[in-house]
Amino acid sequence: MNANAFRHFYDYHFTENRKIWNYVSQLSHEQFTQQVGYSHGSVREQIVHLISCDDTWFSELRGVEPSESLPPTNLDDRNMIRTHWDRVEQNMRDYLAELRDEMLFDTPIVEPEEDKDLIVWQVLLHVVNHGTDHRAQLLRLLNDLGVETTSQDYIFYVYDHL
Protein backbone atom coordinates (compact mmCIF):
# COMPACT_ATOMS: atom_id res chain seq x y z
CA MET A 1 0.00 0.00 0.00
CA ASN A 2 1.41 3.36 -1.01
CA ALA A 3 0.32 6.89 -1.79
CA ASN A 4 0.72 6.43 -5.56
CA ALA A 5 -1.70 3.50 -5.50
CA PHE A 6 -4.29 5.70 -3.81
CA ARG A 7 -3.73 8.52 -6.30
CA HIS A 8 -4.32 5.99 -9.10
CA PHE A 9 -7.45 4.67 -7.41
CA TYR A 10 -8.78 8.21 -7.01
CA ASP A 11 -8.16 8.96 -10.67
CA TYR A 12 -10.57 6.07 -11.29
CA HIS A 13 -13.04 7.57 -8.77
CA PHE A 14 -12.93 11.01 -10.41
CA THR A 15 -13.21 9.53 -13.92
CA GLU A 16 -16.28 7.50 -13.00
CA ASN A 17 -17.88 10.49 -11.25
CA ARG A 18 -17.46 12.51 -14.43
CA LYS A 19 -19.03 9.72 -16.49
CA ILE A 20 -22.03 9.82 -14.18
CA TRP A 21 -22.23 13.56 -14.69
CA ASN A 22 -22.22 13.12 -18.47
CA TYR A 23 -25.22 10.82 -18.11
CA VAL A 24 -26.94 13.26 -15.76
CA SER A 25 -26.60 16.04 -18.33
CA GLN A 26 -28.89 14.02 -20.62
CA LEU A 27 -31.79 14.17 -18.16
CA SER A 28 -34.59 16.67 -18.17
CA HIS A 29 -34.96 18.75 -15.01
CA GLU A 30 -37.99 16.65 -14.10
CA GLN A 31 -35.99 13.42 -14.41
CA PHE A 32 -33.08 14.95 -12.49
CA THR A 33 -35.30 15.81 -9.52
CA GLN A 34 -37.83 12.97 -9.74
CA GLN A 35 -38.18 11.36 -6.32
CA VAL A 36 -37.57 7.65 -5.97
CA GLY A 37 -38.15 5.55 -2.88
CA TYR A 38 -34.60 4.25 -2.59
CA SER A 39 -31.40 5.50 -0.97
CA HIS A 40 -31.26 9.32 -1.05
CA GLY A 41 -34.07 9.86 -3.50
CA SER A 42 -33.69 11.70 -6.79
CA VAL A 43 -30.65 11.68 -9.05
CA ARG A 44 -29.96 15.20 -7.81
CA GLU A 45 -30.05 14.18 -4.16
CA GLN A 46 -27.84 11.14 -4.83
CA ILE A 47 -25.26 13.38 -6.53
CA VAL A 48 -25.40 15.96 -3.74
CA HIS A 49 -24.94 13.18 -1.18
CA LEU A 50 -21.92 11.80 -3.05
CA ILE A 51 -20.29 15.24 -3.23
CA SER A 52 -21.08 16.02 0.40
CA CYS A 53 -19.56 12.77 1.67
CA ASP A 54 -16.38 13.20 -0.38
CA ASP A 55 -16.08 16.75 0.92
CA THR A 56 -16.75 15.79 4.55
CA TRP A 57 -14.25 12.93 4.66
CA PHE A 58 -11.47 14.87 2.97
CA SER A 59 -12.17 17.92 5.15
CA GLU A 60 -11.79 15.67 8.20
CA LEU A 61 -8.48 14.37 6.84
CA ARG A 62 -7.29 17.93 6.26
CA GLY A 63 -8.59 19.20 9.60
CA VAL A 64 -10.83 21.85 8.04
CA GLU A 65 -14.56 22.51 7.99
CA PRO A 66 -16.41 21.04 5.00
CA SER A 67 -17.93 23.48 2.56
CA GLU A 68 -21.54 24.40 3.03
CA SER A 69 -24.00 21.81 1.75
CA LEU A 70 -25.96 22.47 -1.37
CA PRO A 71 -29.52 23.44 -0.44
CA PRO A 72 -32.56 21.67 -1.87
CA THR A 73 -33.95 23.57 -4.81
CA ASN A 74 -36.72 23.46 -7.37
CA LEU A 75 -34.54 25.17 -9.97
CA ASP A 76 -32.27 23.38 -12.41
CA ASP A 77 -29.06 23.97 -10.49
CA ARG A 78 -26.81 21.54 -12.37
CA ASN A 79 -24.27 24.24 -13.25
CA MET A 80 -23.98 25.20 -9.58
CA ILE A 81 -23.67 21.54 -8.57
CA ARG A 82 -20.97 20.86 -11.19
CA THR A 83 -19.00 23.93 -10.06
CA HIS A 84 -19.24 22.81 -6.44
CA TRP A 85 -18.24 19.24 -7.36
CA ASP A 86 -15.20 20.55 -9.27
CA ARG A 87 -14.09 22.48 -6.16
CA VAL A 88 -14.50 19.42 -3.95
CA GLU A 89 -12.59 17.27 -6.44
CA GLN A 90 -9.78 19.85 -6.60
CA ASN A 91 -9.52 19.89 -2.78
CA MET A 92 -9.29 16.10 -2.85
CA ARG A 93 -6.64 16.20 -5.60
CA ASP A 94 -4.66 18.77 -3.62
CA TYR A 95 -4.68 16.51 -0.55
CA LEU A 96 -3.73 13.47 -2.61
CA ALA A 97 -0.87 15.35 -4.29
CA GLU A 98 0.67 15.94 -0.86
CA LEU A 99 -0.02 12.41 0.42
CA ARG A 100 3.09 10.47 1.40
CA ASP A 101 3.35 6.76 2.19
CA GLU A 102 3.98 7.33 5.89
CA MET A 103 0.81 9.45 6.18
CA LEU A 104 -1.34 6.43 5.28
CA PHE A 105 -1.01 5.17 8.85
CA ASP A 106 -1.82 8.45 10.61
CA THR A 107 -5.03 9.05 12.55
CA PRO A 108 -5.64 12.77 11.83
CA ILE A 109 -9.37 12.94 12.52
CA VAL A 110 -10.23 14.61 15.81
CA GLU A 111 -14.01 14.88 15.45
CA PRO A 112 -16.45 13.29 15.31
CA GLU A 113 -15.49 10.96 18.13
CA GLU A 114 -16.48 7.84 16.21
CA ASP A 115 -13.92 8.64 13.48
CA LYS A 116 -10.91 9.54 15.62
CA ASP A 117 -9.32 6.07 15.44
CA LEU A 118 -9.66 5.74 11.67
CA ILE A 119 -6.40 5.39 9.79
CA VAL A 120 -5.92 7.50 6.65
CA TRP A 121 -5.80 4.49 4.31
CA GLN A 122 -9.11 3.24 5.77
CA VAL A 123 -10.78 6.57 5.08
CA LEU A 124 -9.35 6.74 1.56
CA LEU A 125 -10.57 3.25 0.77
CA HIS A 126 -13.98 3.96 2.28
CA VAL A 127 -14.55 7.09 0.20
CA VAL A 128 -13.93 5.27 -3.09
CA ASN A 129 -16.07 2.32 -1.97
CA HIS A 130 -18.85 4.70 -0.97
CA GLY A 131 -18.63 6.37 -4.38
CA THR A 132 -18.82 3.03 -6.15
CA ASP A 133 -21.92 2.09 -4.16
CA HIS A 134 -23.76 5.31 -5.00
CA ARG A 135 -22.63 5.34 -8.62
CA ALA A 136 -24.09 1.83 -8.96
CA GLN A 137 -27.38 3.11 -7.56
CA LEU A 138 -27.25 6.06 -9.94
CA LEU A 139 -26.46 3.84 -12.93
CA ARG A 140 -29.56 1.78 -12.20
CA LEU A 141 -31.68 4.88 -11.75
CA LEU A 142 -30.31 6.45 -14.93
CA ASN A 143 -31.00 3.23 -16.82
CA ASP A 144 -34.57 3.27 -15.53
CA LEU A 145 -34.86 6.84 -16.82
CA GLY A 146 -33.82 5.71 -20.31
CA VAL A 147 -30.15 6.74 -20.29
CA GLU A 148 -27.75 4.29 -21.90
CA THR A 149 -24.87 3.77 -19.46
CA THR A 150 -21.72 1.65 -19.28
CA SER A 151 -20.03 -0.35 -16.56
CA GLN A 152 -18.01 1.36 -13.85
CA ASP A 153 -15.88 -1.72 -13.10
CA TYR A 154 -12.42 -0.72 -11.96
CA ILE A 155 -10.74 -3.28 -14.22
CA PHE A 156 -12.10 -1.54 -17.33
CA TYR A 157 -10.53 1.69 -16.09
CA VAL A 158 -7.24 -0.18 -15.70
CA TYR A 159 -7.48 -1.63 -19.23
CA ASP A 160 -8.06 1.86 -20.61
CA HIS A 161 -5.12 3.34 -18.70
CA LEU A 162 -2.37 0.76 -19.18
pLDDT of residue 43: 95
DSSP-based three-state secondary structure for 36: coil
Q: How far apart are CA 133 and CA 148, in angstroms?
A: 19
pLDDT of residue 58: 97
Asked if residues 59 and 66 have their Cβ atoms less than 8 Å apart, the reply is yes
Q: How many CA atoms lie within 13 A of 141 on its CB side?
A: 27
Q: What is the pTM of this model?
A: 0.93
pLDDT digits (tens, 9 = 90+) for 10-32: 999 999 999 999 999 999 999 99
Write the CA distances from 137 to 20, 37, 47, 130, 156, integer angstroms: 11, 12, 11, 11, 19
DSSP-based three-state secondary structure for 74: coil
Torsions phi, psi of 116, nearest 5? -65, -20
Per-residue pLDDT band for 76 (boundaries 50, 70, 90) equals confident
DSSP-based three-state secondary structure for 119: coil
pLDDT of residue 53: 96
| CATH number for the domain running over 3-160 | 1.20.120.450
pLDDT of residue 111: 86
pLDDT of residue 143: 94
pLDDT at 71 over 80: no
Average pLDDT over residues 45-74: 90
pLDDT of residue 9: 96
Per-residue pLDDT band for 80 (boundaries 50, 70, 90) equals very high
pLDDT digits (tens, 9 = 90+) for 81-134: 999 999 999 999 999 999 999 999 999 999 889 999 999 999 999 999 999 999
